[in-house]
């Protein structure tokens, strides 16, 4: 475990790969309802972390709020929002591109590092 209490992304990936057949992700997405009232939409995906990250960056979700990983066979769940937000920020920093606008709030609200989101 890293000094900040987080599981390093490589360890998280390895854990998810070994249990990929049973990990289920719940993505909480903020959706504007009619008439202009905010509501939450839940989407469940049974996939890998790379696909979740690609869907977040690619705009599959409007305004993601939280991402929870569940392993019903092993009886655990974990909020992976912080790890995913930090991974997205890291990838954008490496590629020297800004975090996509539609997930800036998600990344900003779940990051703990000193780097601000580039606009």
| pLDDT tens for each residue of 86-115 | 999 999 999 999 999 999 999 999 987 554
What is the mean pLDDT of the segment spanning 67-89?
Answer: 92
The beta-strand segments (E) located in 17-63 are 24-33, 37-45
In this prediction, residue 37 carries a pLDDT of 54
pLDDT digits (tens, 9 = 90+) for 5-57: 445 555 555 555 554 467 888 888 887 655 455 566 666 666 788 989 999 99
**Predicted structure pTM score:** 0.69
> Would you report the helix, strand and coil content of the chain in percent, each value rounded to 5?
35, 25, 35
Which tokens go with 26?
A: 């719940």
């Amino acid at each position: 475990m890293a000094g900040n209490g987080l599981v390093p992304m490589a360890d998280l990936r390895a854990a998810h790969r070994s249990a990929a057949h049973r990990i289920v992700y719940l993505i909480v997405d903020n959706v504007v309802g009619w008439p202009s009232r905010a509501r939450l939409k839940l989407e469940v995906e049974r996939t890998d972390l790379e696909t979740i990250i690609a869907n977040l960056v690619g705009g599959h979700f409007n305004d993601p709020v939280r991402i929870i990983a569940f392993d019903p066979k092993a009886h655990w769940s974990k909020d992976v929002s912080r790890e995913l937000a930090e991974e997205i920020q890291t990838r954008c920093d490496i590629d020297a591109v800004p975090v996509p606008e539609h997930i800036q709030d998600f990344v900003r609200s779940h990051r703990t590092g000193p780097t601000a989101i580039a606009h």
